[in-house]
Amino acid sequence: MKIIAIDTATDVCGITYLIDGEIIHTIEDNIPRQHAKSLPLFYEKLCSETELTLSNIDGIAVSIGPGSFTGLRIGLSYSKGLAFGCGLPIIPVPTLTAIMKSGGIINGTAQAILYSHRDIVYAQRFKIINNILNPDNEIAAYQWEKITPLIKKLDFIVQIGCNDLIIEKKNIQSGYTSSSIIAQLANEHFEEWVIDKPYSLVPNYISPFNIGVKKP
């Protein structure tokens, strides 16, 4: 299986080419507010440095959110452009699942957390068994104070952008986003996540309003 994966959910902008579970090439950089300009250049560079041709691709994977409003929109719009040109499906990959995978946790209960703004974060809980990520609740936005009681209860916390909010550092580690992780997850969950006709697909922005309605 051949997959192109795009990640623009955070300040990192990247694109990866994967064949049969193996990462062939990744081009990415931490470039806040430059995704719209850089992503097409990264794609052209990826094509020139590999034997990539869209006609041989099985699908386009993209980090679907939550994350940067503008970044998510740019990533999905570009993915749709590539997909529609050759009638390819899109594989939307949840950003928090990718963040959790970056933690390299094999077994345990864990929470993936991504900073939004002020004291608001996006969070999702996972049960991890033999390196298999099992979401344990829905993704939602919470005030940081609603998340902190869980830090001592769970085995791991994998976070991005929350350093200024963290007081108790026990069990907390920094995660990261990468198009290579998006590619790996898309390959693993292709049949489960693939959308053959993604015309109405939109980013999973997750409303930061109605904070604290659900238990994290």
Radius of gyration of the chain (CA): 17
Is residue 106 in some structural domain?
A: yes
Is residue 15 in some structural domain?
A: yes
**What is the spatial distance between Cα 85 and Cα 90, in angstroms, rounded to a whole number?**
12
Is residue 215 in some structural domain?
A: no
CATH of the domain at 145: 3.30.420.200
**In a 10 Å sphere around its CB, with 0-12 CB exposed, 13-18 middle and 19+ buried, how is residue 206 labelled?**
buried
Q: Write the DSSP string, 15-39.
A: EEEEETTEEEEEEEEE-TT-HHHHH
Question: pLDDT tens across 51-90, in order?
Answer: 899 999 999 999 999 999 999 999 999 999 999 989 999 9
| 78 and 183 together in one domain | yes
Q: Which domain holds residue 104?
A: 96-174
pLDDT for res 214: 47
| 53 and 145 together in one domain | no
Question: pLDDT tens across 104-158, in order?
Answer: 999 999 999 999 999 999 999 999 999 999 999 999 999 999 888 877 789 999 9
Q: How many CA atoms lie within 13 A of 99 on its CB side?
A: 33
